[in-house]
Amino acid sequence: MQELMLETWSGAINTVTIGATKEEGGTRSRAIKVGGQKTLPFLFPEGELPHKSVVAFEVWDTPPADWPKNLTDAYGDSLKDPLKWAEKCVKDFKAQLIALRLQGAHPDFGNKTPEQEAKLVAEVLKKVDVPLIILGCGDDAKDNIVLPACCEAAKGERCLIGSAVQDNYKTLVAAVLADGHNIIAESPIDINIAKQLNILISDMGLPLERIVVNPTIGALGYGLEYAYSIMERCRLAALAGDKTVASPFICFAGHEAWRAKESKATQEEFPEWGPESERGIIWETITATALLQSGADILVMRHPEAIAKVNKYIDNLTISSSVERRADRV
């Protein structure tokens, strides 16, 4: 029997904990750990892969105006109320993690105040007991006043807050430090910028073990291959011993996949493409599973059916690898 060649690595990915239980000073039913890998994705015989990748359901503070009907139908009227939406994700779809996007704070999409958004964060934390990711609206000036208020409202819950970018990170890092949260460091598909931003954030006193990197990605057919290669390079550098890039990855697969024409176009427009009710789910699923193979630790997704497929994919790979490891020891 031919012996399998195994790679050995000197480095490891940092473990980041999201959510704090009652014993840890928070109110979450559980804490989620990501990272900790000592080898490449799903190569269980080569090294430790202690924590499974996790999928977060994306919830908005305002009804999404640009989501296609085949996506909004999955949530129905709950889209009008973020509290009902979050509760539906947890109760009906068994969400392990919620990613709350504060899109309504954007000056062009409602211009909600920091006080309004902080109140919503507190209400979501009372409504559901899973760990929380809190995402800004993407307007730097507004996020600089909204996200600190939300950090304070969620103090002690060890949320994951995002995003810090190279030109706008100091205010958010200070808020995360003050209130005991983790941070998302966002870089534009560039390993050098990702590394530099991690260094800048850690220089402010936030440990590297509290940073999750958003490398930014593309969907299937829209730059996925390039994003994959950047993530792979970053992971290889980390495993080779570069601690400044040894952060877990968060990937917004839902956002990218549902922007693709193939997800949104109707069957009347492109009859040869098949029904859009199935196509968008497939596009999101394939985008997400490819990202898992490139090292994604957290996937932020949208359609419950796509999320169910990806969770099954993660479980099947993990179970299969556990069986192989047991067989090797016999």
Instruction: List the CATH number of the domain containing 161.
Output: 3.20.20.20
Which whole-number Å values give the CA distances from 328 to 37, 39, 45, 319, in the listed order?
20, 18, 9, 14
Q: Has residue 263 been placed in a domain?
A: yes
Mean pLDDT for the chain?
A: 94
Model pLDDT for residues 304-322, shown as the tens digit of each residue? 999 999 999 999 998 755 5
Number of domains in the chain: 1
Cα angle value 38/44/48 (rounded, 5°): 30
* pLDDT (0 to 100) of residue 328: 46
Predicted confidence (pLDDT) at residue 211 exceeds the cutoff of 50: yes
Give the whole-angstrom CA distance, residue 135 versus residue 105: 11
Q: Has residue 81 been placed in a domain?
A: yes
* pTM for the predicted model, two decimal places: 0.95
Instruction: Evaluate whether 74 touches 305 at the Cβ level (below 8 Å).
Output: yes
Q: Which domain holds residue 161?
A: 52-315
Residue type at 278 in one-letter notation: E
Residue range 103-110: mean pLDDT, rounded: 97
Q: Has residue 232 been placed in a domain?
A: yes
Give the whole-angstrom CA distance, residue 285 versus residue 173: 33
Say if residue 57 is exposed, middle or buried (CB neighbours under 10 Å; 0-12, 13-18, 19+).
buried
Give the whole-angstrom CA distance, residue 129 versus residue 20: 10
Q: Has residue 10 been placed in a domain?
A: no
Q: Has residue 179 been placed in a domain?
A: yes
Q: Has residue 122 been placed in a domain?
A: yes
Peptide bond into 321 cis (omega under 30): no
Q: Has residue 30 been placed in a domain?
A: no
Q: Has residue 327 been placed in a domain?
A: no
